[in-house]
Amino acid sequence: NEDEVLIKMSKSGAKGFLHKNIHPTELEAALDSLVQKGYYFPDWATGKLLHTIASPEKAEQSQIVLNQREIEFLKLAATELTYKEIGEKLYCSPRTVEGYRDALFEKLNLKTRIGLVVYGIRNKIIDI
C-alpha cells in the first residue's frame, strides 16, 4: 500500500515523494524545495510518516547517546532551515554542519534528513 511504499522509500534514502498526477504548481514548489532544502515531502506524506513513527515498534533501537552539539543540530535539522542557515545558528561553517550530519547518519545508521527527524521524534529529542 502507499503508506508502506512511502516508509520504505524514506528509509532507503528518498529525498521526496510525488504523485504521478501532481498539479504543475505543486511540482514547481517541489522542485524549488528540492533545490533549496535537498528534500520535498508534501504535507500528507509528512503526516503519514509522523503517524507511522508515533506508533510503537516491537524492536526498539538501543539508546544511543548524543552529545549536546549533535542534539542542537538534530533539533535544527527538523526545521525548514537550510544547512547554511543551520551553520549560522550554530556559529560554524556549512561544511562543519555537513560533518555533524554525516556523523549522525553513521552513528544512527540513517541516510536522510527525514530519517534524522524520525529518530529525534521517536527518542523524544524533537517535540511535534
For 57-72, the DSSP string reads -SSPPPP----HHHHH
Q: 46 with 91, same domain?
A: no
Quick check: is 59 in a domain?
A: no
Number of domains in the chain: 2
Q: 45 with 77, same domain?
A: no
Q: How many CB atoms lie within 10 A of CB 73?
A: 26
Q: 49 with 87, same domain?
A: no
Quick check: is 37 in a domain?
A: yes
Q: 23 with 49, same domain?
A: yes
Domain that holds residue 97: 68-122
Query: Per-residue pLDDT tens for 16-45?
Result: 888 888 889 889 988 988 888 888 888 778
Cell match 528518498: residue? 14
Q: How many CB atoms lie within 10 A of CB 28?
A: 11
Query: Per-residue pLDDT tens for 90-114?
Result: 999 999 999 999 999 999 999 999 9
User: Rounded distance, CA 37 to CA 81, Å?
Assistant: 8
Quick check: is 44 in a domain?
A: yes
Q: Determine which of 51-60, 81-90, 98-107 has the lowest per-residue pLDDT on average.
A: 51-60
